[in-house]
Homo-oligomer: A and B are copies of this chain.
Amino acid sequence: LIRGIGDDAAVLRLPRGHEILVTTDFSLEDIHFRRHWAAATSIGHRTLLRGLSDIAAMGGIPLAAFLSLAVPRNLPQPWIDGFLTGLVRLATRFGVSLAGGDTSQSPEKVLADIVVVGSVPRGRAVLRSGARVGDRIYVTGQLGAAAARLARLYSARQTRIGRPRAGGLPLPRVAIGQFLRHKRIARSMIDLSDGLSTDLSHICEESKVGAEISEQSIPRARLDHTRVGMKFALHGGDDYELLFTADPRTRVPPTIGGTSITQIGEIKRARKLILCDAEGRRVELQPEGWEHFG
């Protein structure tokens, strides 16, 4: 970063032989989050998490973040402080500068838009379009915890949750994404922000292929020592794990940096998603992604 906040534009220098990655993500109150359902630090964390996770899914190195933040006039200052604390703490942890952005008053609700700029060696970004028939499909970590937690909040009609433990907030899989790109393991990759069924369908669309996954192989997260329901693992958003495909001849390690890597299925020629259930029945899987609050 050559020049950050305080000029018309930020100036960044790119590592030699690298290309630029750019991603932008909204975090809008009552669409992407509810202000009274999470601590401000957690909302700030998740705002940046979404952008870092996109860079991770390209196999990229995050360099700088830009935050556009509009808040209503009557928003308490401690909320803003908490939001920024959560965001900056995550940025620092991943060596990312907060290099600029925009601030504004908003008519009523908190509106954030995060931009993350990253880099990747020339021609080496891992795209969604690289999956080939026969590729094995893998996911990192466990799925469904975020959606299961959200469902619990909905059903309890809770109006306030406590400060989350720092350990409870998901982290972007930046190091794993870079490892999978560097070792030429992943041929296609996406982050699980909208839910497995939806995000796998994006890989299939962009790669012009289909996929078959096995229900039994899907690594379901535990919440209070119980495995979350299958629907949360299949369709729940906000997990920020990586989904990637690899040539069947490629050796894929069972863990990377302590995180489990699980094979969940295979890329097929027929352009649909098939779910093989516990009884061996094969049913078509409809993408039922993350439903926003709206």
User: Does A128 contact B6, Cβ atoms closer than 8 Å?
Assistant: yes
Chain A, 17-39, CB within 8 A of any chain B CB: 19-26, 28-32
Q: Within 8 Å of chain B (Cβ to Cβ): is A209?
A: no
Q: Within 8 Å of chain B (Cβ to Cβ): is A246?
A: no
Chain A, 73-102, CB within 8 A of any chain B CB: 73, 99-102
Interface centre among A54, A111, A129 (most CB of B within 10 A): A111
User: Does A24 contact B115, Cβ atoms closer than 8 Å?
Assistant: yes
Chain A, 222-249, CB within 8 A of any chain B CB: none
User: Does B54 contact A24, Cβ atoms closer than 8 Å?
Assistant: no
Chain A, 248-282, CB within 8 A of any chain B CB: none
Q: Report the bound CA distance from A2 to B120 in whole Å.
A: 12
Task: Contacts A9-B21, A24-B66 known; list 8 others, CB within 8 Å.
Answer: A8-B54, A9-B125, A11-B20, A11-B125, A12-B22, A22-B22, A24-B113, A26-B68
Q: Which residues of A are at the interface with B, using a C-beta cutoff of 8 A?
A: 2-3, 6-14, 19-26, 28-32, 53-55, 57-58, 60, 64, 66, 68, 70, 73, 99-102, 104-109, 111, 113, 115-118, 120, 122, 125, 127-129, 189-191, 206, 292, 294
Task: Report the minimum CB–CB distance from A3 to chain B (whole Å).
Answer: 6
State whether A23 and B10 are in contact (beta carbons under 8 Å apart), knowing that A73-B294, A115-B66 are contacts in the complex.
yes
Interface centre among A11, A32, A118 (most CB of B within 10 A): A11
Contacts of A58 in B (CB 8 A): 7-9, 11
User: Does A28 contact B64, Cβ atoms closer than 8 Å?
Assistant: no
Task: Report the minimum CB–CB distance from A286 to chain B (whole Å).
Answer: 21
Contacts of A3 in B (CB 8 A): 125, 127
Contacts of A111 in B (CB 8 A): 28, 70, 111
